[in-house]
Amino acid sequence: MSKEVKVPTLGESVTEATVGEWLKQPGDPVKVDEPIASLETDKVAVEVPSPVNGVMGAHAVEVGATVEVGALLATIEDDVAAGEATQVEPREAPAPKEDTPPPASPAPAAAKAAEPADAQTLSPAVRRAVLEHGVDPSSIKGTGKDGRLTKEDVLAAASAKRPSTSSGRADEEEAQKSAQPEPVEGRAPRREERVKMTRMRQTIAKRLKSAQDTAALLTTFNDVDMTAVIEAREKFKDTFAKKHDIKLGFMSFFAKAACLALKDIPAVNAQIDGDEIVYFDYVDISVAVSAPNGLVVPVVRDADSKSFAQIEKDIADFGKRAKDGTLTMEDMKGGTFTISNGGVFGGLMSTPIINPPQSAVLGLHRIEDRPVVRDGQIVIRPMMYIALSYDHRLIDGREAVTALKTIKEAIEDPMRMLIDL
């Protein structure tokens, strides 16, 4: 018997997904609850578990296909039935007659070509070229992004293995012409590769473009002297880590400083809903986290009532699960304000885009020593540029500048966060 595997419920208002990767190939043994496929939704990657023990059956859809909730993905064959079926194959075939040549075994290249097409994540064009030319993709060095194979790589490998005959040379020349442009002396051949956008990347593109088209975006800047925060971290880092089992980072300081500013300037923590303004008496901070498939923004809920340690733990957990691809839709639902830290990648200054329907986002950047004037003297201090992008339909310039100034003052004098100033 076989068990059908269907697309599971993906979350509120999510009705379809894209098949990102098959984790099990036909014939592979699978255990109950073992992931067999990865689906990409608008925000997260969802693993589909096997409902039973058995052997992976046929794939009903290919990688890259769009599937709706409840659609058939694959089948799982009963392990007993699959085991019985596999016992039939090893039986010895009748000995061939002396005057009948033994059947030729399949060409090694062709056999290998069919296998890696499923074993690797190949684009449809590359997979088709592998099958047409009977080459082994595992023996080809990819020149695409992250070492991936391109169609030109396959065509070049196919032409290299052809016999050196007149027709073979003609075919080889034709393949080489189609694979790459005529090389210019002293210049390496130029290549290009087309890769379909993932569903997550398409959603990111639509949401960011929508934010630009809908909101009246404006950005205000300031700079922050990080001396006090750095000294506090250095002084308490060992005690903090020992007591809370987490490192004391910069994000918790900025999250708490933002909470002060949002409480003082409610418009920065509000949203436009039709012709109404929604004000929140809580602060749910979306934290931009880099994941393998794109930027995600899980939410630290009730950040205004959480301790430094709990905020650091939440952010560390989000970062780990983003890399593992285990974030859920619930993790990213909601949020009233966003913090994006481009400084971890070395960014000096940027104009971050708001995360709709939110009305503001705080951008952090790298810390570098710069000369500043203190008490009439030029001194070297660790400085950071900070930016607040906001929706000018809701937030006036005075409110945005005041909110950013409040964050600056809280970071430069962390005691303000303790006595709520």
The predicted-structure confidence for 82-122, as pLDDT tens digits, reads as follows: 444 444 344 444 444 444 444 444 444 444 444 444 445 56
Tens digits of per-residue pLDDT, 5-46? 888 877 666 777 888 788 888 888 888 888 888 887 766 777
Please determine, for residue 408, whether its predicted confidence score (pLDDT) is greater than 60.
yes
Confidence label for 379 from pLDDT (cuts 50, 70 and 90): very high
Task: Examine the pLDDT at 257 and tell me if it is beyond 60.
Answer: yes
Per-residue pLDDT averaged across 59-75, rounded? 85
* Residues recognised as catalytic: 392, 396
What value does the mean pLDDT of the chain take?
80
- Are the beta carbons of 230 and 372 closer than 8 angstroms? no
Strand partners, 67: 17
> What DSSP line would sit under 6-32, residue for residue?
EPPP-STT--EEEEEEESS-TT-EE-T
In the chain, residues under CATH classification 3.30.559.10 are 200-419
Mean pLDDT on 50-71: 85
- pLDDT of 223 strictly over 90: yes
- The two counts, helices (H) then strands (E), for the chain are 11, 18
Q: Where are the beta strands (DSSP E) in 226-341?
A: 270-273, 276-279, 285-287, 289-291, 294-296, 299-300, 337-341
- The DSSP secondary structure of 318-369, one letter per residue, reads HHHHHHHT---TGGGS--SEEEEEGGGGT-----PPP-TT-SEEEEEEEEEE
pLDDT band of 252, cuts 50, 70, 90:
very high
Pairwise CA distance, residues 7 & 69, whole Å: 5
Which pairing describes strands 54-59 and 35-40: parallel, antiparallel, or unpaired? unpaired
Domain with CATH 2.40.50.100 in the chain: 2-88
pLDDT at position 115 is 42
CATH topology of domain 200-419: Chloramphenicol Acetyltransferase (3.30.559)
The pLDDT, as a whole number, for residue 75 is 87
Which of 49-63, 151-165, 166-180, 282-296 bottoms out in mean pLDDT, i.e. has the lowest? 166-180
CATH code for 2-88?
Answer: 2.40.50.100
Bond before 352 cis per omega within 30 degrees: no
Spatial separation of the C-alpha atoms in residues 246 and 311, rounded to whole Å: 10
Please give the average per-residue pLDDT across 51-63, as a whole number: 86
